[in-house]
Amino acid sequence: MQLTPMMQQYKEIKQQYPDALLFFHLGDFYELFFEDAVVAARVLEIALTGRDAGEAGRVPMCGVPCHAADGYIARLIEKGYRVAICEQVEDPKQARGLVRREVTRVITPGTVVDGQYLDAKRNNYLAAVVPVDEGYGFCLVDVSTGEMAVGEASGERALETLRDELACALPAEVLVPDNAPEALLELVRRERAVLVTRIE
């Protein structure tokens, strides 16, 4: 199915960041398309419209003004979403054809350091949990302050101990290996709405 050149550019960039909501800079707005638009419109309570995408017809679209984007991004981060910011990296007036765009930053709940996205009253921990011998090793780090703690939960009550540690820290994001046991994934997801990121 043939897309317009701009929508093809969007799809190619989105394929590189499939687990993020892609804020695509277009003039004075950041636009979101396809499923990202549906999710963002629902979470942000903004209008869901459509845009012509070529042979694909109209696709879902929503957008926010660039000057107000930080507030919208903060709300998405607070709800546990990952956001990729795709900027125009050349002057549209100088562009021959399609304006070049690139993702300039990815903001996640656990890696955010910008003050406007943080709650000053609590730490913003990123947790990493890995299965080890008869339990789990874990690390908690607040990248905005540099505070860090490491520990291990082992023995018959390893999962309960890990659950208690995570409940105390309330991490915004938890990194787990791709091959993490299902019991670990269930524990992390059950405790609260937290972004779980699988890594190799």
Cα–Cα dist 127/111, whole Å: 10
Burial grade of 184 (CB within 10 A; 0-12, 13-18, 19 or more): buried
Q: Answer yes or no: is pLDDT of 193 > 80.
A: no
Neighbours of 82 (CB within 10 A): 19
Radius of gyration of the chain (CA): 20
- Reported as a single tens digit per residue, the pLDDT across 33-51 is 999 999 999 999 999 998 8
Task: Report pLDDT for 187.
Answer: 83
Handedness of CA 34, 38, 41, 44 (dihedral sign): negative
Give the Cα separation of 32 and 26 in Å (integer): 10
Gap between the Cα atoms of 155 and 58, Å rounded: 56
Residue type, 172: A
- Which pLDDT score, from 0 to 100, does residue 72 have? 95
pTM exceeds 0.85, yes or no:
no
* Residues 6+ away with beta carbon under 8 Å from 32: 21, 22, 23, 24, 40, 41, 61, 62, 63
Q: Is residue 124 scored above 70 in pLDDT?
A: yes
pLDDT band per the 50, 70, 90 thresholds, residue 5: confident
| Cβ neighbours, 10 Å, residue 182 | 7
Do residues 60 and 48 make contact, with C-beta atoms less than 8 angstroms apart? Answer: yes
Nearest to 88, CA basis, from 26, 33, 32: 26
User: Could you tell me the domains of the chain?
Assistant: 5-107 (3.40.1170.10), 117-198 (3.30.420.110)
| Sheet of 173-177, strand order | 147-154, 135-142, 126-132, 173-177, 195-199
140-157 pLDDT tens trace: 998 888 899 999 999 889
Is-contact 163 173, C-beta < 8 A?
no
